[in-house]
Homo-oligomer: A and B are copies of this chain.
C-alpha cells in the first residue's frame, strides 16, 4: 500500500482499509504503553481555517504519541496570510518548508486536493467543506469493525442531518467498499442524503432504504449512527425543535435495540443522545472518539514511512 495523501473517501479500496485498520490496532497497542519514538524527527503542521478543537487535538495527540512534534495554527483564517489574499497553494509550499506532513481543515471543498496538487509532503484532509471528512469515515468504520468484530454484513441506521453533515456522508461513501452492508437513512424532509451519495451506493450495490421513524428502525440494525441536527439549517426555531425532538435516543427507545448493537455519534451531541445511556455498554461514541487517535496515528505513520523511502 502506497499512501501519499489522505484527501477523500473515494481514494480507499477495501485492501487499503484492511491495511490501515490492522495498523491502527498496532497503534492502539503502542498508545496503551504511552508513546513511541518512530516519528521523533518529524513535524506535523495543523492548518485550521475553521475552528475544530476536537479534530485538531486528535491529530496532534496522534503525532505526539508517535514521538513527533507539532506546529499548529488554531485560527488560520484570521492569523495566516490567507487573510492577506494568499492562495492555499502558496501557503502549502511555504508550510511544507517547516514540516513533514500537513493537516488542513477548511470551509471550502477541494482545498486539501488543491494543496496536495503542489505539496511535496503528505496532505491530510481534516475536513473540507460540507463534503469530505475522510479520517472521520475511517475511524467510524474502524470502530464498527472493532465493536462488531466485522466490517461486512451489518445493518446501520444513519440518523439526523444526512445532507449537511460531513460525517454520515463520508461514512456512506466508504461503505461502498464493504460487503453485505444495509443502510437505513432516517432523516426528516429537507436534509436527506444528497443524490451523488445515493448514486454511488447504487453503483456499488449497497442496499439502502429511507425511513423517517427512528423507533421503527432501532431494532433492525447493528449500528445506530446518530448525528447532530444543525439548528441553522431550519427556517424557524419551531421547525428545528420538531426535528430535533424526533431523533433523540433515550432509555425508552433503547429498549428496542439489540444487545449486540452499538450506538455511534461523531460528536459533539446536543441532545440527540440522552446522557442517561452513556453508561450502557452499547454506547460506543466515546470509544469511537478514542479510536480517532489510533486511526490518525496509523495514517501519519503510513504517510511518513512511505515518504522517508522516497
Contact = CB atoms under 8 A, between A and B. Distances in A.
Given A84-B228, A85-B270, A43 B71 contact: no
A-B CB proximity, top 8 nearest: A34-B41, A51-B79, A61-B98, A81-B268, A86-B268, A53-B80, A97-B290, A85-B270
A94 B57 CA distance: 10
A69 interface: yes
B268 A85 contact: yes
Contact of A43 (B45, B65, B84, B85): B65
Nearest to A62: B98
Nearest to A95: B57
A97 B296 CA distance: 13
A252 interface: no
B269 A83 contact: no
Interface residues of A, number: 57
A90 B51 contact: no
Q: Which secondary structure characterizes the binding site on chain A? A: mixed
B71 A292 contact: no
Copies in the complex: 3
A275 B42 CA distance: 29
A228 B84 CA distance: 10
Given A35-B69, A86-B268, A90-B269, 5 more contacts: A54-B95, A57-B99, A73-B74, A74-B79, A81-B267
Interface string A94-105: 110111000000
Nearest to A271: B85
B98 A73 contact: no
A81 B53 contact: yes
Given A60-B71, A61-B43, A270 B79 contact: no
Interface string A25-56: 00000000111000011110101100111100
